[in-house]
Amino acid sequence: MRRAGPALLVTCAAVAAVTALSTLAAPPARAQGGVPGGEDGLGHCTGTAPVVCHFDVTPGTYRVRVLLGGGAVAGSTSVTAETRRAMLAETPNAPGETVRRSFTVDVRDPEGEPTGAIGTPGLDLTFGGAAPQLASVRVERVRMPQILLAGDSTVCDQAAEPYTGWGQRLPQYLTDRVSVANYADAGEGSQSFRDNPALFPALRSRIHHGDLVLVQLAHNDKQTDRETYRANLTAMIEEVRAEGGRPVLVTPIVRRWFNADGTLDNGTALLVNGLGVDLPAEMRTLAAEHNTPLVDLTALTRARVEELGPEGSKALYLYDEKRDNTHTSVRGATEYAGLVLAELRTLGLLAPRAVR
């Protein structure tokens, strides 16, 4: 579905183990080498509001350790990486106070949507927020458990504001014990995502034992028959497991399309396609048949949208900006990422120490 509109320390780490409870977590990484850039790493950074940092690293997984604050006045700093990925929510500090935080970034090429623009090679970090203060930054290469995302434009790393996918907002909820690799791509359905070498085949090649693979594909299966849809999702489940990964089916976010009584339309809003296939219902059935964890994001987002009503729910989508009732705003994507995270925790798929 296409929209309309310090010092840099590069290190290797031991392979992270999955815990006995089959939850996603990782041991500390082991530093093994460095690259010049100043003891505080600020030699890689320019500007003040925002502070923009660039590190010439090769594709891989990197832990970023930052020291925020330290100024004479109070500060408040948020961090994004690469293509507008939210890595750290607004973090305040009192005058003179410093705050240590760390997070993990998936660096790849292209850096955003797999079929999109190449972007800038290396790792890009932006320290923004109401009053950004950066005292030091350190980057090290690590091997971490991953959450890999397969999805469409409602999930992907959107390059252009105000469009924002929920996968783009998910990393801010996680500690440096897990990495998010977002392979979601605008315009993709279950068949095209499987067929394109840059999408599911590339994602599959990244899977390590115990990694979570979240699959939300439905919005663009407008004319996909039931048998084909089921076959595509079943194949992805089986192929993820063949690589040692753990598939999780995620039903699609709802479209903001109301009936006169303030409930969501049973067709367009709830993803019943042009052939009458109830796509979320098929995902629920497949999850049960294949003993696969399910995040029923359709039900969760329906409850939230209906709670806010026709007027209040506009802020979750791009209705005011684009008259768009499918793609989410920063607020909507952030809330929906939070819903996904909560369900992963409820299902026991994330260790407590992996959640911020």
For 196-251, the pLDDT digits (tens) are 999 999 999 999 999 999 999 999 999 999 999 999 999 999 999 999 999 999 99
For domain 6-17+35-141, give the CATH number.
2.60.120
CATH 2.60.120 domain extents, the chain: 6-17+35-141
CA–CA separation, 30 and 15 (whole Å):
10
Residues of the chain with CATH 3.40.50.1110: 145-356
Mean predicted lDDT score pLDDT of the chain:
91
pLDDT of residue 346: 97
**Cβ contacts of 176 within 8 Å, gap of 6 or more:** 63, 64, 65, 102, 103, 104, 144
Q: Any idea of the CA torsion for 338, 342, 348, 352, to the nearest 10 degrees?
A: 70
Residue 32: predicted pLDDT = 29
CA triplet 334, 52, 27: central angle to 5 degrees?
65
pTM summary value: 0.90
Q: Which two tokens stand for residue 230?
A: 């089921």
Amino acid at 16: A
The candidate with the shortest Cα–Cα distance to 215, out of 197, 199, 195, is 199
The answer to whether 106 and 181 have CB atoms below 8 angstroms apart is yes
| Alpha-carbon torsion (116, 195, 278, 225), positive or negative | positive
Among 3.40.50.1110, 3.40.47.10, 3.20.10.10, 3.40.50.10440, name the CATH number for the domain at 145-356.
Answer: 3.40.50.1110
Identify the pLDDT of residue 24: 58
- How far apart CA 291 and CA 176 sit, in angstroms, is 29
For residue 114, cis peptide bond before it (omega within 30 degrees of 0)? no
List the chain residues with pLDDT less than 50.
1-22, 26-37
